[in-house]
Structure 1
Amino acid sequence: MLKWNETYNDPTSDRGDQLRAQIEQRPRAAMAVMAALPRAHAPGTHHTYSTGETQAPGEVVRGAVGRPLSRYLLEKIWQPYGMEADENWWLDSPDGVEIGGSGLSATLRDFARFGPFFLEGGVIDGSTIPPDE
């Protein structure tokens, strides 16, 4: 858990720093903001909402599956769950990586479908996405 200030109307907050990094469209700028933050708590000991900390798991998934996070979402969840329109994702730079915490856009109907997917435990055709293991 990193020390993180999520205050949206404070231009000096960490969220403000991350948003500026996203707008810069410089490769890996969003991760650079996160890498510069100090640890506030040991992992798993404290919960604080942090848009920024979603960037790291997104990049971990990208590295683990060997393709963009948006493509993985499309192949594993979006198409199999029957979303009606393509999703779009804000990238950190042209041809860059997806912004994990605030970059997904979709139709209202598809976001409404996404809710039951989570409420039902992330199951599609009897398989949990991602797998429990």
Structure 2
Amino acid sequence: MALISLDQTINIAMSVKDRHATARWYETMLGFETLYHADDAGWSELQTNTAGVTIGLGEHTEPVPGNCVPVFGIADLDAARQKLEQANVKFDGETDVVEGMVKTATFYDPDGNALMLAQDLTGGA
């Protein structure tokens, strides 16, 4: 049995220079649909052709190619983080909160690969 219970969503987060241009590329080349641009947060999200899987585009001045972080949806991030920390899972700093949008926490597998938990705060999902 798993230590925590993830929901059935995954977001693949990537760093890009221009979220709007990159979103258009994914729409044109792969047929993805832009769900929204959160310009204040520097974030855009696209629906892939796979149910429950979205692409997140975080805007950075100098993105590092290959920087990709799987983001797993979870109903109660705080409870999950507490359980993982009790199991000696390393987290990268404090939990980040964008009020009314999302709560996120980055953690690492045994090989140092970054993973993230995300709790939807919009009240929609």
Q: TM-score, normalised by structure 1?
A: 0.35
TM superposition score normalised by structure 2:
0.36
- Identify the structure with the greater strand proportion: 2
Larger-Rg structure = 1
By percentage of residues, which structure has more helix? 1
